Amino acid sequence: MNQREKELYLREYSLLKSQGKPFFPYAVTKDALMACIVLLAIITMSIVFGAELGPKADPTTTTYVPRPEWYFFFLFEVLRVIKPAVLTPVATIAGILTIFAMGYLTYLGAAAGSPNSIEYPVAAKYEAGKLIVAQSGCLACHKIGENGNGGPGPNLTDIADKLPKAAILRTLENPTAPMPSFAGMPEEKKTAMVDFLSQLHGE
């Protein structure tokens, strides 16, 4: 995937996510309803057809060979083939690496910031523009403070130090591909976006 394709994908993903339905209660309701249907089907089949319990367990037998369920056969065979002296250190190292990877990815996710909101302190008169920027998919390719992605678009945290207000407006209306044009946006919203971006001077 090249830079152009990545930017198009991130922007489309951000727009679709903002237009989608929330997980709660929409998805939760559907999952709960489906779970009830499956549970009702299992209970009905158990009542109608019964459940095969197999022979009664005999704790005194010496001929019984313990076998796991079919979906654990591969682990059963691994334990037979690999000696415990070899398997134990391998499993220990794999477990430690898994815990380390989970912790590192959790840190990256926590430090990434919100993908559809901007946690950047501004004066009250710029709040409307900040909201419009956050909801327009800009954070899919740009970063403002701790929010958004570090590319492929430039970091906008200090955009006011690099471009004057008029240049920011021209960029929004006539951007470099693949950035979409905001020329068709209502003037009130476009002005609010420019006002917000034109006061981003970084730290």
DSSP result, 34-76: HHHHHHHHHHHHHHHH-----SPP-TT-S-------GGGHHHH
- For residue 1, what pLDDT is reported? 57
- For residue 96, what pLDDT is reported? 94
pLDDT tens for each residue of the chain, 203 residues long: 566 677 777 777 777 777 777 788 888 999 999 999 999 999 999 888 887 777 777 888 888 777 888 899 988 888 777 776 666 787 789 899 999 999 998 887 777 656 677 778 888 888 888 888 888 888 888 888 878 777 788 888 888 888 888 898 888 888 887 788 888 888 888 899 999 988 887 66
Quick check: helix, strand or coil at residue 132? helix
Q: Which amino acid is at 162?
A: K
**pTM for the complete prediction?**
0.46
Tokens of 6: 């990545």
- For residue 33, what pLDDT is reported? 95
Distance CA 186, CA 132 (A): 11
